[in-house]
Amino acid sequence: MSKPVLWITRRLSDRTLERAQQDYDCIINHEDGEHSAAEIIEMSAKVDAILPCHSEVFRGETVDRLDDRVKIIANHSVGTDHCDIPALNARGITVTNTPDVLSDATAEIAFLLMLGAARRAVEGDTLVRQGKWDFWSPAFMVGKQVSGARIGIIGMGRVGQVMADRARGFDMEVHYHNRSRLPADKEKGATYHDTVESLLGVADFLSLHCPATEDTKGMMNAERFALMPDGAVFVNTARGALVDEDALLSALDSGKLSAAGLDCFVKEPGGNPAFAAHDNVFMLPHIGSATVATRDAMGFRALDNLDAFFSGKTPKDKL
């Protein structure tokens, strides 16, 4: 029997590509460029399955015009805001994602951003790197202490829970907001806030770990930044769409926030050049899950979902 034809839209890990090619007739984007809607539509007529990343958008007209041949979109991402899942399902297309396997790596990057923002990593690195470090004093480059401080986590799913565990390692007081309160074994003594507003009031450090949906888009706006303690630090490794970037810039300019750590931006790739003028903003280019182990795990999870689908089973991560 011939193998299903699978389009792998980006350069996935070597181990993922090797395994994919054993079981599928693969079309692989070795050049690794991004794809326009027209290219996605054109390619859909040639394949039974697509293994995309969050960089390929399946919304609006693209979904309407996908060829009937495509039966499954097995995302290589936990986030699915690039997919209109109800519309894809209405077209008879199964959609899956890759939860769990990237929680550790993403929480690592969130912690890196939080520490780097709080302890003035950009400023210090620039000073030493540019050979401009010619002074030292106890009053020099004093930052905000993370250990023992209060952290607010919005979205206490898998990544949020790992972030909370890492925060406990720094003796932080963990507060969270989530659609529903966690059971005690998962809450582990963290304080639940049933509104975002209540959480913001205690968030000396705030880290976002919720998906970008119609309900959460732009949730961090001027009114909400104003509710945070003075000098708070804001961290976003979830999605840029959660944040009103102008409001964030104003909060940084006014000193309401002392610093921010950002791995996600409204415009990606590229980010927001306005942040570059702020050396209290520690930025990374959406690399939360970019470790060798996690890329392999994400690729394998997507392939597990495809294997289940093509053997007539329900994929574990069907959405």
Active-site pick, 10, 35, 120, 239:
239
Residue closer to ligand DGY by CB (options 53, 251) is 53
- Identify whether 286 is a catalytic site residue: yes
H or E, element range at 34: none
Count of residues in contact with ligand DGY, rule CB under 6 A: 8
In the set 39, 59, 268, 278, the catalytic residue is 268
List the interface residues with ligand DGY, window 276-305 (CB under 6 A): 288-289
- Does 79 sit near ligand DGY (CB under 6 A)? yes
Burial of 11 from C-beta contacts in 10 A (0-12 / 13-18 / 19+): middle
119 is catalytic: no
Strands 150-154 and 49-51: unpaired
Footprint of ligand DGY on 97-156 (CB under 6 A): 102
The nearest distance, CB 54 to ligand DGY, in angstroms, is 4
> Per rule CB under 6 A, is residue 54 in the interface with ligand DGY?
yes
103-118 and 158-169 helices cross at what angle (nearest 10)? 50
Binders of ligand DGY among residues 59 to 78 (CB under 6 A) are 77-78
SS (H, E, C) 216-264: CCCCECHHHHHCCCCCEEEEECCCHHHECHHHHHHHHHHCCEEEEEECC
Q: Helix, strand, or coil here: 290?
A: coil
In the complex with ligand DGY, the residue whose CB is nearer, 53 or 151, is 53
Q: Does 44 bind ligand DGY (CB under 6 A)?
A: no
For residue 268, indicate whether it is catalytic: yes
C-alpha distances in angstroms, 235 versus 16, 55, 109, 275? Answer: 31, 22, 10, 14
Residues annotated as catalytic are 239, 268, 286
Residues forming the site for ligand DGY (CB under 6 A): 53-54, 77-79, 102, 288-289
